[in-house]
Structure 1
Amino acid sequence: MSAEVQGTGVPEDAQDPRRRFAEECRSERELYPERPLTQVDLAKMTRTSASTISRVERCEGPIPAALPPLLDQVFRTDGKFKRLYEEAIASSFPSLFRRRMALERSAVIIREWSPTIVPGLFQTADYARYLVKGGSPLAREDEVARFVGNRITRQAIFDGETPPDVRLVLCESVLRRRFCSPDIMRSQLRALLKAGERPTVRVQILPLDAPGHLFIDWPVTLLTAPNQAVSVCVENYQTAGIVEDSAYVQTALRTYDALTSDALSPRESAHLIATQMETLS
């Protein structure tokens, strides 16, 4: 008999999004309208292998990133598997970051500031891989791959039916920092330019000679919920803080407004990014 989550009467396993994904996959397959599907049938319909479907339904290993939208297409489930997949990815983060991930997924406005690196929502896989290998040189390849996959999965919010408005301000030093090869950095800068072309995304660069400000030492994300409540997320070494006190939130919003005023315009920022790409060799 499975354990229950205290005070809910709900089996603990039932609240595990990875297990729910597996159970929903099996249920949809067995209750397919025309006839029950075998794992081989479903594998053919989703252009994968029967062994992959079997592993997914047994909760063994990660869910292939390409599988959830294909399951939604086959079963006509209106994004159910995509949502469960995102929840499963979020649940794999340390508990300190889980609430932040949940706030990010539901946010209608995301304001990002970074003084050091391109934030996760905008990272390419290669850039993310260099970051994690630099920070954890002894990490196994499967651990690195899982980290990169989780990070890239977060970017699915850009492709939803109602993507959030995303505002990104980067210190100019982020463009000039070369901790990876020129080719990888060039691809990362190209991805920034492409992101800035989205109608819901604005990318700005804060020049190196801009005035000092409250956020100068650390990355900050301001997440606006559908009810317009704003949470301020501050991250540093192995920890994250979420600030919701109204006085601090208002100060953070004013600081972010000042950053956008001191930063280059989106057009000027795109020109600076493109110019920096040309210097990489």
Structure 2
Amino acid sequence: MNSNGEATGGAEGAYDPRRQFAEECRSHRELYPPGPLNQTQLAKLASTSKSAISRVETCMGPIPSGLPARLDQVFSTDGLFKRLYEEITAQSFPVHSRRRIELEPKAVSISAWSPTVVPGLLQTAPYARALLREGDPRASDDEVATLVRARMARQEVLKGNSPPDFSVVICESVLLRNVGSPDVMREQLSALLAHGSRRTTVLQVMPLCAETHGLMDGSMSILTTADGPPVIYTEGIRSGTIIEDPSTVRHLSRSYDVLTASALSRDASAHMIRKLMEAS
């Protein structure tokens, strides 16, 4: 599976955060202190539909991204449903990338370099679908749709009232490469402009005319959490590695600093993206 694909199921009886989410929802609903709630009553309190609650409790289909926080609020569960949702999202990805997926929601700062495709945190659904379809031509439409939902759910880390500081450098070739169709690329370029306009995001383009730099071999993310030192995630086609060695992290972080100094400015990058979008 692609590095953003689903993991295979574990042994029978193994811990399943999706099943745990369903059981916790049902249990808290039935043991609600003022009195048991039926699914319709919980749906009203959680600003969703009865059918959504039913699907959650029977493990049918995806969990709406905003529902875990609302359930925590209704049941005063101090982030229980949010934590389970993060585990569910992490398990939608292969083993080698789960540590990164688990760290992203906790990060106060994320810095990324992508020389080949738009980073997953910034992809539109049609762009992601085109990549995933080409990555596994034998996958069914439902399987691809599940992978797209997992990738879109991952983007929740950049939303909300307190998103991490996000810095991203994208190679110009990523903007020039046609993924899906011209319409898909126009939508993706427009989304990049919107992301780049956020106060917590710095988006830069590395022009093709730039000199050789130390991160030409592959993509990289630097993740910094409030309670630990920075770690680096590097990724290949079907592999990924978390780097925690302090000296290696410092070396690669310095290479990223040099990369940002060599890239176009924030405004010049937006200008390039806008011109490409208008010309497409």
> Under a length normalisation based on structure 1, what TM-score does the superposition of the two structures give?
0.87
Aligned to 1:185: 185
Q: Which residue of 1 aligns with 2:165?
A: 165
Aligned to 2:31: 31
User: What's the offset of the Cα at 1:13?
Assistant: 6.6
* Gaps in structure 1 of 5+ consecutive residues: 1-11
The question of whether the paired residues in 2 share the 8 Å contact of 1:14 and 1:20 is answered with no
Q: Which runs of 5+ in 2 are unaligned?
A: 1-11
Conserved in 2, the CA contact under 8 Å of 1:86 and 1:153? no
Q: Distance in 2 between matches of 1:49 and 1:265?
A: 45
Deviation of 1:269 after TM superposition, in Å, equals 0.6
CA distance in 2 between counterparts of 1:185 and 1:100 reads 27
Spell out the pairing of 1:1-281 with structure 2 (5 A cutoff): 15-46=15-46, 49-72=49-72, 74-75=74-75, 77=77, 79-280=79-280
| 3-state SS in 1 of match to 2:113 | strand
Change (3 A) 1:225 1:48: closer
| Compared CA separation, residues 70 and 246, structure 1 to 2 (3 A) | closer
Whether the 8 Å contact between 1:207 and 1:264 is mirrored in structure 2 is yes
- Alpha carbon RMSD of aligned pairs, Å? 2.2
Structure number with higher relative contact order (C-alpha < 8 Å, ≥ 6 residues apart): 2
* Corresponding residue SS for 2:23: helix
Take 1:107 and 1:229, find their aligned partners in 2: how far apart are those partners? 11
Report the alpha carbon displacement of residue 215 of structure 1 after superposing the two structures with TM: 1.4
222-231 or 234-243, which deviates more = 222-231
Three-state SS of the structure 2 residue aligned to 1:255 is: helix
Q: State percent identity of aligned pairs.
A: 53
Secondary structure of residue in 2 paired with 1:252: helix
SS in 2 for 1:203: strand
3-state SS of 1:238 partner: coil
Distance 1:28 1:14 in 2: 22
Q: Secondary structure at the match of 1:264?
A: coil
Code of the aligned partner of 1:272:
M
Shift of 1:74: 4.2
Post-superposition offset of 1:72: 4.1
Task: Say how many residue pairs are matched.
Answer: 269
SS in 1 for 2:111: strand
- Residue 4 of structure 1 is matched in structure 2 by none
Describe the SS at the equivalent of 1:55. Answer: helix
